[in-house]
Structure 1
Amino acid sequence: MAQEFDRAYWEDRYRGGHGHGHGAPPNPQLVAEVSDLAPGRALDAGAGTGAEARWLAGQGWRVTAVDISQAALDAARERAGALDAAAAERIAWVRADLTEEIPGTGFDLVCSHYAHPTGGYRAFFDRLAGAVAPGGTLFIVGHDHAEGHGHGHTHGHDGSLEHSRVGAAEVAEGLDPAQWEVLVSESRSREVDRGGRRAVLHDSVLRARRRT
């Protein structure tokens, strides 16, 4: 039976030290696609332990890092302060359920990496898209649902891999072409080290610019 990814699930996971990315680098797809953008206001939707928020802040972005888990945010805040106190001051850590509310609008960048929203992806991505300012960027990375391997293999057998798969083309199709220019919509493969074992991950990557 598929796991219900509610607040209790994530609080338990992060309190138990099983959340992803405590010492991980930022998502390489984000680094590749966002490095050329001028820093502004960013929303990191589903910030987890903060690798992407820390990287964005280090690039000069003012980041609102949102997660449903307070345990994740507490760990992320502590690590950010220890690694780069100056950059950490540019991050606001906010606990919120993004399927119910978005803390703010008019962001120059809204990004999400391997989200597990309750209530379905369509409504979730519609909410994220609505938070992007004119001229701003929507950036989504998920596990490619067309592939049988991926980052989610570390999740176990509770349905989380299946739940976190998303097709960039499907997200792109939900964006009104009168309001959005889709710049990237594709699957990308990359290798990672899993405790000395090489694994191939298949990412679904969407980058879109909201028209002014």
Structure 2
Amino acid sequence: MRRTYRTLYRLGIAPWNRPEVPGPITDLVEGAAPLPPAKAVDLGCGTGRQARYLAAHGWSVTALDYTREAVAAARRADPGNLVVWRVADVTDPASADPDGQLAGTVSLLLDNGCLHGIPDERRPGWASTVGALAAPDAVLLVRATPRRCRGIGPQGITEGEITTLLAGRWRASAHPEPDWFVYSNERHPERVDRAMDSVP
């Protein structure tokens, strides 16, 4: 998938790069019980629309993607340097946070379609990165499509597989929309419950 994404970005083909910020993200940021702005990390940021959205709403955002072309496009769209853009492997905590400045401090971890494209054998690395970055009161928001048997594109992942990857450290909340999953750090489960009360 890495080679495919790099080729598509070079060709300017990114059908997943939509103009709107998804509702589950805006609900957490602007809903009836919004999360207070703090540190956020966008895992697999692409060209950075949602990272810029978070920064515009007062969040301190670090955005990660392994595709240099995507990160370069994201930087060009952020002339004010509101976001820290990083070419990084989200399955490697040392790559995601090379200087250790984010460890244990990130209040919102966002994965809009990254995990479900990571090969099975590398997914525990994603979970290690999430665990290493998460603050005690962190919220994890993941969009992931179900597994598919054939065809091009992400192979998908089940909700049960995500729960297993998180190894009991996170508690699931109600799904804000199909294919979207919200988790709270087990030490502070009430935080995401309050934030998601505003989701219909």
* Matched letter for residue 167 of structure 1: T
8 Å contact kept, 1:110–1:132: yes
- 2:46 alignment counterpart: 48
Change (3 A) 1:169 1:59: farther
- 1:102 alignment counterpart: 96
- 2:177 alignment counterpart: 188
Displacement of 1:187:
7.8
Structure 1 spans left out of the alignment, 5+ residues: 149-155, 190-202
Displacement of 1:204:
3.6
> Which one of 137, 145, 150 corresponds to residue 135 of structure 1?
137
1:80 partner SS: coil
Alignment RMSD (CA, Å): 2.6
TM-score of the two chains, using structure 1 as the length reference: 0.71
- 1:121 alignment counterpart: 123
8 Å contact kept, 2:127–2:166: no
Percent identity between the two aligned chains: 22
Change (3 A) 1:34 1:205: farther
* Matched letter for residue 41 of structure 2: L
Taking the aligned partners of 1:140 and 1:66, their CA distance within structure 2 comes to: 15
Q: Deviations over 1:42-85 (max 9, x none)?
A: 1100000111101111111111011011110111122233xxx4
1:92 partner SS: strand
8 Å contact kept, 2:63–2:83: yes
* Matched letter for residue 55 of structure 1: Y
Between Structure 1 and Structure 2, the one with more strand by share is 1
Change (3 A) 1:40 1:20: farther
Change (3 A) 1:42 1:20: farther
* Matched letter for residue 111 of structure 2: S
> Which one of 180, 183, 199 corresponds to residue 207 of structure 1?
183
Change (3 A) 1:62 1:113: same
- 1:168 alignment counterpart: 159
2:177 partner SS: strand
TM-score of the two chains, using structure 2 as the length reference: 0.74
1:11 partner SS: helix
8 Å contact kept, 2:41–2:61: yes
8 Å contact kept, 1:41–1:109: yes
Structure 2 spans left out of the alignment, 5+ residues: 189-200
Q: How many residues align?
A: 175
8 Å contact kept, 2:138–2:185: yes
